[in-house]
Amino acid sequence: MNLDTGKLRALTLDLDDTLWPIWPTIARAESALQAWLQRHAPRVTERFDLAAMRADREAVARERPDWAHDLSALRRESIRRLLVAAGETEALLDAAFSVFLAERQCVDLYADSLPALQRLAARWPLFALSNGNADLVRIGLQPWFRGSLAAREFGVGKPDPRIFAAACERLGCAPNEVLHVGDDLRLDVHGALDAGMQAAWVRRDGEGREDDVIGAGVRCWQGPDLLALADRLGV
């Protein structure tokens, strides 16, 4: 699809798996949490290895679909359950979650992310729109963004059109004047298009033909990274 750059006044960007790979980050955060629990709540790690801790986190997500927009709540509940099951005090919950959350902010940016953000932010206001719990200030990317909106803060997450509409309102733009950039076909591309926005699909794996993967009639830009998008936008 040819983007309507003549109308473009702002960009919203997904964070996890768009600016950095999320699973290496989560793995490090879980390992840091496990190490902290081994020192401060050893009965948890005696009973649950890392695989069992991850399985419990997934079980909480299945049991609490009403928390799907709040990954912090899901993680906290999982830690609480592990503490209780192992006979440790729930008073450790806040400290344990803080260890996980701090390490979760230690991301490794894709090589293209920072130079692309610099180019894009020099031309348009950028706004972070995420279902995750990344903190742009702690990560060090705040200077490139005019603002951010997380599903946890808003109450619903992508692909719900309401969170996209809220981002457009905060930017002071009509939906068709905003390009949403993300890695997930359902959450980012279809969510943005359903909200009346333009969409860019960052497909780092590069697999599949456009019609095979996106679906006939779904119109969006797609490319291998953010620098390719910056090139396409002429910045």
Residue range 128-168, pLDDT digits in tens? 999 999 999 999 999 999 999 999 999 999 999 999 999 99
Amino acid 83: pLDDT = 98
Q: Which residue has the tokens 């996980």?
A: 100
State the pTM of this model.
Answer: 0.91
User: Mean per-residue pLDDT for 159-180?
Assistant: 97
Lowest mean pLDDT among 63-72, 94-103, 205-214: 205-214
Q: Note if 14 is an active site residue.
A: yes
Amino acid 207: pLDDT = 52
For residues 106-128, one letter each, b for 16 or more C-beta atoms within 10 angstroms of the residue's C-beta and e for the rest, the string is ebeebebbeebbebbbeebbbbb
Amino acid 213: pLDDT = 60
Domains and CATH numbers, the chain: 10-20+109-233 (3.40.50.1000), 23-104 (1.20.120.1600)
Instruction: Reduce the secondary structure of 21-78 to three states and give it as a string.
Output: CHHHHHHHHHHHHHHHHHHHCHHHHHHCCHHHHHHHHHHHHHHCHHHCCCHHHHHHHH
Percent above pLDDT 90 for the chain: 90
Residue range 103-121, pLDDT digits in tens? 999 999 999 999 999 999 9
- For 65, counting Cβ atoms within 10 Å of its Cβ (0-12 exposed, 13-18 middle, 19+ buried), the class is exposed
Catalytic-role residue among 14, 70, 183, 225:
14
Amino acid 218: pLDDT = 67
Amino acid 6: pLDDT = 87
